[in-house]
Structures are given as structure tokens and as C-alpha cells.
Amino acid sequence: KYKGCPWRVRDYQYGDGIIGLHEEIDHFYQYVLPTPCEHAIRNEVVKRIEAVVHSIWPQAVVEIFGSFRTGLFLPTSDIDLVVLGLWEKLPLRTLEFELVSRNIAEACTVRVLDKASVPIIKLTDRETQVKVDISFNMQSGVQSAELIKQFKRDYPVLGKLVLVLKQFLLLRDLNEVFTGGISSYSLILMCISFLQLHPRGICHDKT
């Protein structure tokens, strides 16, 4: 009925122009928010990978950062993890081998981007098909996530603006940095900048 827009509320009369756009963005936001089940599934993926990491390096620490930590993720978004530990050389291949051999991911879904400015392992969890990016010793990711959570408190509309733009970029294959798109973090900072430069004195349902 809505030509591929399942977030639209049945029999709801959207307002004219910008008000209707605001209302539809609001409905889209409610539609894509993660369910408790989706949250639980993602937490299970993190636990499985954490168990693999601790079995190889008991002293290592696994932290969540990115959109899963900030709550600004779409159903299709990946999980960003960072492994903190002491290594002379980042053990990307070691972790890749263990993740495949322990059936966390199929070999064909694992990619090691060791030449990137931030080397990462990209994989798809075999059980849930959730995508995961794993980096090493990048403390700044966790700090950035906490900064964004603070901005979410300062600007309640930030989440809605970010998620609708994330979906807009996803549909155009412009959401991955390594294929020429915009990173989620860059997008969020652009949205924060917009809200800072365009303050609204009155906030209500029809803003």
C-alpha cells in the first residue's frame, strides 16, 4: 500500500509539506528502533567473540563502540568492537583464523583490512548474519561513543536525524568509508554541527 515504506502508519493523515516530512521521519525512527530481541541477539554475538578473544589472550579487554554503543544503529548496521591488549604486531591473522576455526564466521565472509589507516577484521556472524568490525587498541572509539551519547542528551532530535540520513546513504551505497562513502561518525558530527548552527528556541511535536 505504501510502496515500500513499511514505517508509514496506516490511515494516518500526514500534514502538509515540512510537517508531514517531520511526522514521517518520526514514524520511521520508531519503526527502525531495535526490539529487545534484536538487542539480545547482538549482545550474544559480542559474547561469542569476546569468549574467543579471551581464550587466546586472557588479559585482553573487548569493548563495544560505534553505533551499537550509542544506540544510533539501523537493523542492518554492523557491531564495532575493539580489542585492547599488548602486542608488538597486531594479531589480525591470528584472530581471523580462530574466528573461522571455531565457527563464529564462514571463511568467505571474513576480510582483513590490514592496509587501512585503522586495520580491522570484517566478518559476518554465522549464526545471526550480523556484521562485525573488529579493531585493535583504538581507545578513541570508546571515547567518541561516550561523546556522542552526551550530544544525544543535549540534542534529543539528533537520533532521528542521524538514522534517517543513515538509511538515505545506505540505499545509495554511500555508508562505507572503504568504498568511498561517509563514516557513521562523520555523519553524526555533521548532524551535531547542523543542530549547533541552527538552534531552535521552541521544541514541540510539530517542530
pLDDT score for 139: 86
pLDDT score for 55: 96
Q: Please compute Rg for the chain using Cα positions.
A: 19
Tens of pLDDT, residue by residue over 48-68, are 999 999 999 999 999 999 999
**Structural contact between residues 60 and 85, judged by C-beta atoms closer than 8 angstroms:** yes
pLDDT score for 200: 76
pLDDT score for 1: 59
pLDDT band per the 50, 70, 90 thresholds, residue 203: low
Residue 72 scores a pLDDT above 60: yes
Residue 116 scores a pLDDT above 90: no
- Least Cα distance to 71 among 161, 136, 15, 145 occurs for 145
| Domains and their CATH numbers in the chain | 48-138 (3.30.460.10), 155-197 (no CATH)
Mean pLDDT of 30-38: 93
Residue 158 scores a pLDDT above 60: yes
pLDDT score for 117: 80
Mean pLDDT of 172-196: 92
pLDDT band per the 50, 70, 90 thresholds, residue 177: confident
Q: Provide φ and ψ at 132, rounded to 5°.
A: -135, 140
- Per-residue CA distances from 156 to 35, 67, 151, 195, 198 (Å): 20, 16, 8, 10, 14
22 burial type by CB count under 10 A (0-12 exposed, 13-18 middle, 19+ buried)? middle
